Amino acid sequence: MVGGGFGGLHAARKLANVDCDVLIVDRKNHHLFQPLLYQVATAALSPSDIATPIRGIFTRQRNVEVTLADARDVRLDERTVRLGDGVVEWDRLVLAAGVTHTWFGNAGWAPHAPGLKTLDDALELRRRILIAFEKAEFEDDPTLRASLLTFVVVGAGPTGVEMVGALREIAARTIPRDFRRVDTRAAQVILVEGADRVLPGMSPTSSTNALEALQGMSIEVELNTRVTDVDGSGINTSQGRIEAGTVIWAAGVKAVPIASQLYDGDHSPERDGQGRIITEPDCSIPGHPDVFVVGDLAARE
């Protein structure tokens, strides 16, 4: 198993009563409950609340071994996976390494608009959010104070919608009494989305209900708005400039690098526009019935 997320752990558990040896390879030694990362980023939860050691999960499943390593490439013809410090052979392979952030070819935006996929990401966002309020407390210039109290989230998928809701909650309810000179309730929370509705991957009814809920929380929602640039003091969009002390990127994902490092001789399996591996209905790679791709890394034609 390459990847200790939901897909990898589920596959390993299904093999509990099978006469086989299971090796889980992951760059982190913990399983992360990613749906609650935004709550760590907004200081509602501690990292330990959503992270569990992978080894602890399989303490009683004796056919599972865990190794902390970075899978570099997969040789389908040789039935090997190259790790950072060696090579392992396999009889059956499950790729469940997931996806990562994409800034759509604008890597220079990343330092100014971090994403949210790991505990490190969440802690960095928490630091930026809390420091913005601290700086605003002692900022006398009203323009600079307003910028510090402006939080922009780019991307109105589930992560973006959850994040703006949590930001509004802490600004309006959680911390106002902790500050003396600044009214945190005046913080402006803005959600920017290139599509014509929030939660574009869900039903129109869900989008309408979510939009009404966000607007009811005094969250500004900018639809049909494309980001054209991001810098240290805000973003440029197709609708104009937004000065913001904190920008959070939730606008898209792409496959992790291992998806492009699969080799079958001189050929590689077909991938979609996001770099995800195209699979058969049973999640196997075409032409390789013993190699399976599950979770976010898998795509169907």
Q: What is the DSSP string of 222-262?
A: E-S--EEEEETTEEEETTEEEE-SEEEE-S-EEE-GGGG-E
Kind of pairing between the strands at 150-154 and 30-32: unpaired
Q: Which residues pair with 88 in a beta bridge?
A: 81
DSSP state of 220: E
Alpha helices by DSSP H, the chain: 6-14, 37-41, 54-57, 119-137, 142-148, 158-169, 204-216
Q: Name residue 28's amino acid.
A: K
CA 165 from chain centre, in angstroms, equals 17
Report the distance separating Cα 21 and Cα 36, nearest Å.
Answer: 32
Residue 150 tokens read as: 């402006």
Write phi, then psi, for 81 (nearest 5 degrees).
-125, 125
Q: What angle do CA 88, 278, 6 make, to 5 degrees?
A: 60
Calculate the alpha carbon distances from 297 to 108, 192, 250, 276, 279 in Å: 25, 26, 18, 5, 10
Cα separation of 247 and 231, whole Å?
A: 9
Q: Which two tokens stand for residue 217?
A: 């929380």
- Sheet of strand 227-231, all strands in order from the earlier edge strand to the far edge: 227-231, 234-237, 240-243
Q: What is the rounded distance in angstroms from the CA atom of residue 170 to the CA atom of residue 44? A: 9
Residue-by-residue pLDDT tens, the chain, 301 positions: 999 999 999 999 999 999 999 999 999 999 999 999 999 999 999 999 999 999 999 999 999 999 999 999 999 999 999 998 899 999 999 999 999 999 999 999 999 999 999 999 999 999 999 999 999 999 999 999 999 999 999 999 999 999 999 999 999 999 999 999 999 999 999 999 999 999 999 999 999 999 999 999 999 999 999 999 999 999 999 999 999 999 999 998 999 999 999 998 878 899 999 999 999 999 999 999 999 999 999 998 6
Q: Largest alpha-carbon pair distance within the chain?
A: 69
Amino acid identity at 222: E
Is residue 280 part of the annotated active site? The answer reads: no
Burial pattern 247-261, b for ≥16 Cβ within 10 A else e, equals bbbbbbbbbbebbee
- pLDDT score of 301: 66
For residue 270, the SS3 value is coil
DSSP 8-state symbol, 94: E
What's the pTM? 0.92
> Catalytic: which of 162, 212, 220, 222?
162
